[in-house]
Amino acid sequence: MSKAKTINLTLKVWRQNGSSGIGHFETHQAKDISTDMSFLEMFDVINQQIIKLGGDPIAFDHDCREGICGMCSMTINGNPHGPDRETATCQLHMRRFEDGETLVVEPFRARAFPVQKDLVVDRSGLDRIIAAGGFVSVSTGNARDANGIPVPKLDSDLAFDAASCIGCGACVAACKNASAMLFTGAKVSHLALLPQGAVEKDRRVLKMVAQMDKEQFGSCSNTGACEAACPKGITLENMARMNRQYLAASVTSR
């Protein structure tokens, strides 16, 4: 078996202790990094080197490392999650970079995402948007047969596509106004498209949009940067659907 290729990189990593702290870039040399490593595995190697020297390891979020949880959110050379389309940071491999390249790694930048430490930001604002209306309150009773409630194939496909949003916040980080419209649109859509969620769709969209504004996310910039940065390929169609539902709900609400 042939030996894996290795590369040397220069990392400029943002270090900051708390939202009120003054941050700065710290330079690290990543030597003999296997191109088979993921980006987070490379960070593990760097942190081991820092610990051996008695330093404070770089704080970053991670959990599943399978592109499912969305916790690995960081900006690499200005791109949320890195240069690959529809790829979370944990699934980004070092073969994507060139030997001798300099990588600038920062946390997601948004007022609604205060820095906790280094590359870790508080993204609980997205959770509060979901809590405001991202559920169905109808009694479903016992488990039903899969075909008990007929759902048109197109609607089910669109609902599943919207539900694939992992809530990482890349859309917020990519938007120049730090808007959460794509995220909220996906969470509104995946329930409203199904019959189980249609009963309270008006109340849901009004509450979730109100919470989004309360969290101080910005307005949509209409540039499509959110769609381009999304690791799950959530489309702008979900935002349009949310806007239509919000307008209709605003007119008919009492």
What pLDDT digit, counting tens, does each position of 81-108 carry?
999 999 999 999 999 999 999 999 999 9
* Sole residue written with tokens 């592109």: 67
What single-letter amino acid sits at 130?
Answer: I
pLDDT score at 146: 60
74 three-state secondary structure: coil
The answer to whether the beta carbons of residues 105 and 128 sit under 8 Å apart is no
Share above pLDDT 70 across residues of the chain, in percent, rounded to a whole number: 95
Distance CA 231, CA 253 (A): 35
Cα 163 to the chain's mean position, in Å?
A: 13
**C-beta of residue 9 within 8 angstroms of C-beta of residue 103:** yes
Could you list the beta-strand ranges (E) of the chain.
6-15, 24-34, 75-76, 79-80, 102-106, 115-117, 120-121
Return the minimum-mean-pLDDT range out of 52-56, 64-68, 99-103, 192-196: 192-196
Average of per-residue pLDDT values in the chain: 93
Give the Cα separation of 76 and 65 in Å (integer): 17
pTM of the model: 0.91
Task: From the options 3.40.718.10, 1.10.3720.10, 3.10.20.30, 3.40.50.11740, give the CATH code of 6-116.
Answer: 3.10.20.30
Specify the fold of 124-252.
Fumarate Reductase Iron-sulfur Protein; Chain B, domain 2 (1.10.1060)
Domain boundaries, the chain: 6-116, 124-252
